A and B are shown apart, each in its own frame.
Chain A
Amino acid sequence: MTLLDFARGPALEASLFIFVAGVIWRCVGTLLLPWRLVRVEPRKGASSPWVAALKGVLVKLWPYDTFAKSGVVQFVNGYIFHAGFAVVFLLFAPHILFIKGVTGLSWPSLPNNVIMMIGVVTAASLVVALVFRVTSPVLRLISRVDDYISWFLTFLPVATGLMAAAHLGLRYETLLSLHILSFCALLVWFPFGKLMHAFLFAFSRAVTGVRMGQRGAAI
């Protein structure tokens, strides 16, 4: 079995299993705790809980102006690497072929040079995020090991992907194997660290939306 066979085969299968099982476990373990909602008589004219929950999710897509003044660069940078990662993952032709192989689903891709450019921007944006983290006294204080592991394991597939696409350094098959293995590492870590916000953010925003929405207060 070659390294590439291992990466595409057992490594990917095992990491996908850990990812799916871990995500379900963490979501269930979080959301099956007692809800202990405080029932209140809502303010007259307050949004229904479902509308307030949706508002909670949507309002947080952009900060209030007063908070954007101090955090807009960080906020925009966050959007850049999230969007960049998603575009590269979902719209790169080889990725789509790979996903088709697993799920049977496929969709149009973006040209390779566009993907390359977005990949470079994504990697640069992740570096900026790291620079923020290590240079800001606030971020240094509140950061955990999880933040650095999550950063590294997000950066690694982007970096190895760019290297593989550009045929930089090692043999293509080796680079491709390392790229897939780095993605496997990301999948394995995903349920255990802060990357889970990708699933849990909606709950967090929604419950605050409901709590404040019934009061007629800002979300």
Chain B
Amino acid sequence: MTAKTTAAGVPYDAQGDMSDADRRSAAMRGFLHEFGAVAAAHLETCVRCGMCANACHFYVATKNPDYTPINKLRPFEQAYNRHAGPFAPIFRLLGIAPKVTVTELEEWERLIYDACTLCGRCTLACPMGIDIAELIKEARHGMYKAGLVPDRLQLMDRTARAWGSPATPADDFADIIREAGEQHGIEMNVDLEKADYLVTVAPAELTDHTKALADIARILNKIGASWTYHSEGFEASNIGYINGDIELQKAMTLRLIETAKKIGAHTLILPECGHAYGAARWEAGRWYDGKLPTRIIHMTEFLQETVISGKVKLNPINCTVSFHDPCQLVRRGGVRQAPRDVLKALGTELKELENHGDLAWCCGGGGGVVSNTRADPIRFKAFQIKQREVEDAGAERFVTACGQCRITLTQGAKHFKWDRKVESLLELVADNLAD
């Protein structure tokens, strides 16, 4: 792995020992793999109106036109016009659609990875309905194939391929769960042969937020559910999905679902992680033709159904709360009402942020950006949008339902010495279970 800069001074990382020609060819093959009718309908329809710019937190925070979402797709679009579009042969013949160069790919690495959280706010803004976030995710496939991924994300990819998780080897997982149980005084189930619920985790919970491991256990024990964590399928944050490593995305998705199937779980509970929801709930169908052997729900949906059904009663906490809507859960996932139902059951008064629900601003760290330290400067600038909205809302507590959002917002708060704690919805519920 190397950290380099292009002739124009743009930093990029490159992996593997490929010639420029091979790197370019690999990117083109990766791009071509994604050029189906849906991507084509989107790429063919852009009128370059620029409406997507003001939907992007990185553009709004910096006013740098490079961060205009559709601009982040330029090499992808160029490759489409040259190799896959209806007039590609004519354009090639006339030299109208130039080759994508390896330098362009290197320069666009920072736009495709550092400056996009896959939040999809641009998709909502596009008058042509172009799903820009999805196209960027698809463009990442070509970049991954070309070995043009930020080193930090590539490291997580390699770790996940080797260990089954970017946070810990699968062999250590059961011990981590037992230790979390001992630390918090909760009876943990791990590697049970049969269970109704398979509970999965995200790296944040194996590192920064270990209390969450015990919190969900506390709730499941309270309702008398049959449940387990499992070493064979525990890691739900899908780094393959984020990086454009489709083989890894598939392997991680199958590992979860096949484990659920093996233990007879009717429900697979995803952790408080947005991209886990995107990868498992909405993309597992790629490998199961839409007919999954288990129900897949996000932690927030589980909390909602448990609270609404009356299986658990909560002690009211009587305070005002603002909720940060995780993009993959709400805007891209449709779980808009569930966190609000849970907050209501907690007896809180919700003070919505100016942009909330489907239109909420991203935390700035999704899509791997929080793990990609090269993006820190623009991530912190984007954080200030959220900081201002939270201050304007004036609630006593600030809550979210995604560990990555929580880490991003906590890091932002620390950077700006902002005295606000970012809390987890799961932890709030677990801490306020009525006897």
The residues of A with any CB-CB pair to B shorter than 8 Å are 25-26, 28-41, 43, 46, 56-57, 60, 63-64, 66-67, 70-71, 74-75, 78, 136-144, 147, 192, 194, 196-197, 200-201, 203-209, 211-212, 215-219
> With A33-B84, A38-B282, A208-B130 in contact, is A194–B46 under 8 Å at CB?
yes
Stretch of B215-223, B283-291, B395-403 lying at the A interface? B283-291
Given contacts A29-B87, A64-B359, A218-B124, contact A201 B129 (CB under 8 A): yes
Taking a contact as CB atoms under 8 Å apart, the answer to whether A218 and B65 are in contact is no
Q: Is B285 within 8 A of A71, CB to CB?
A: no
Residue among B35, B45, B123, B128 having the largest count of chain A Cβ atoms under 10 Å: B45
Q: What's the least CB distance linking B34 to chain A, in Å?
A: 9
Q: Which residues of B contact A (CB under 8 A)?
A: 35-38, 40-42, 44-51, 53-55, 59, 65-66, 68, 70-71, 84-87, 123-131, 134, 281-286, 289-292, 330-334, 336, 355, 357-359
Can you list 7 contacts pairing A with B, beta carbon distance less than 8 Å?
A: A64-B125, A137-B65, A138-B68, A194-B48, A204-B44, A208-B131, A215-B282
Q: Please name the residue on chain B nearest to A145 by beta carbon.
A: B96
In the A-B complex, list the 6 residue pairs whose CB atoms are closest, starting with the nearest.
A29-B86, A39-B290, A205-B129, A216-B334, A218-B358, A217-B334
Specify which chain B residues have a CB less than 8 angstroms from the CB of A219 in the assembled complex. 124, 129
Measured CB to CB, the closest approach of chain A to B286, in angstroms, equals: 5
Contacting pair B41 A40 (CB below 8 A): no
By a CB distance below 8 angstroms, the chain B residues around A215 are 282, 332-334
Nearest-Cβ distance from residue B271 to partner chain A, whole angstroms: 19
- B residues less than 8 Å from A205 (CB atoms): 128-129
* Given contact pairs A211-B131, A215-B282, A204 touches B45 in the complex (Cβ within 8 A): yes
Interface of B is mostly: loop
Number of A-B contacts (CB under 8 A): 174
Q: Which residues of A contact B129 (CB under 8 A)?
A: 56-57, 60, 201, 204-209, 219
Known pairs A75-B127, A78-B49, A139-B50; A40 contacts B86 (CB<8 A): no
CB-defined contacts of B334 to chain A, threshold 8 Å: 43, 46, 212, 215-217
Separation of A141 and B19 alpha carbons in the complex (Å): 30
Beyond the given pairs A26-B44, A30-B85, A35-B37, 18 more chain A to chain B contacts, judged by CB atoms under 8 angstroms and listed by A's residue number, are A33-B36, A34-B36, A60-B126, A60-B129, A64-B125, A66-B359, A74-B51, A75-B51, A78-B49, A138-B53, A140-B65, A142-B68, A142-B71, A143-B48, A200-B45, A204-B44, A208-B42, A211-B38
Flag if B292 contacts A197 (CB, 8 Å).
no
Residue from A33, A39, A207 within 8 A of B285 (CB atoms): A39
How far does the alpha carbon of A80 sit from the alpha carbon of B41 in the complex, in Å?
Answer: 25
Cα separation A74 to B85 with both chains bound (whole Å) = 29
Closest A residue by C-beta to B286: A38
Please name all residues of chain A whose beta carbon is closer than 8 Å to the beta carbon of B126 when the two chains form the complex.
60
Is B123 a contact of A208 with CB atoms below 8 Å? yes
Do A41 and B128 form a contact, CB below 8 Å, given A29-B85, A34-B36? Answer: no
